[in-house]
């Protein structure tokens, strides 16, 4: 109990239940999807927020889906991606062991 109160009082945005995270994820995905619909293009932020909301709603793990989404958007921007990026998510060439 002391740790929870300490976390709340120090401003670390501690959530008491996974339902708090679901509400936060849905709250981020709805405006992002609305913006994507208005602009006619799905952004990385909108996709990742929607994946998060979906994962929380059905209890599915979404980490790998978010990594694939990050790599896909990096590839669309012209970045050089390799097989390792699809597994761990895109990283800058300077921070990847498999890029020169």
DSSP string covering 55-87, please? HHHHT---HHHHHHHHHHHHHHTT----HHHHH
67 & 54 share domain = no
User: How many domains, in total, are found in the chain?
Assistant: 2
Instruction: Check whether residue 2 and residue 22 sit in a common domain.
Output: yes
* Domain co-membership, 73 together with 84: yes
Work out the percent of the chain whose per-residue pLDDT is above 70.
Answer: 70
Residue partners of 80: CB distance under 8 A and separation at least 6: 93, 99
Same domain, 37 and 27: yes
**Average pLDDT score over residue span 65-89:** 88
Together in a domain, 29 and 43: yes
Q: Once rounded to an integer, what is the mean pLDDT over residues 4-33?
A: 61
Helix (H) or strand (E) holding 24, with range, is helix 18-39
End-to-end CA separation in angstroms for the chain: 49
Q: Is pLDDT at 7 greater than 70 in this prediction?
A: no
Q: What is the pLDDT of residue 82?
A: 85
């Amino acid at each position: 109990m002391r740790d929870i109160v300490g976390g709340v009082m120090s401003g670390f945005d501690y959530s008491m239940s996974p339902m708090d995270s679901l509400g936060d994820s849905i709250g981020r995905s709805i405006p992002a999807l609305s913006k994507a619909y208005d602009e006619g293009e799905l952004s990385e932020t909108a996709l990742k927020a929607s994946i998060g909301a979906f994962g929380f709603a059905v209890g599915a793990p979404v980490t790998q889906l978010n990594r694939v989404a990050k790599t896909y958007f990096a590839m669309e921007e012209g970045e050089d991606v390799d097989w390792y990026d699809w597994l761990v998510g895109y990283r800058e060439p300077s921070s990847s062991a498999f890029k020169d």
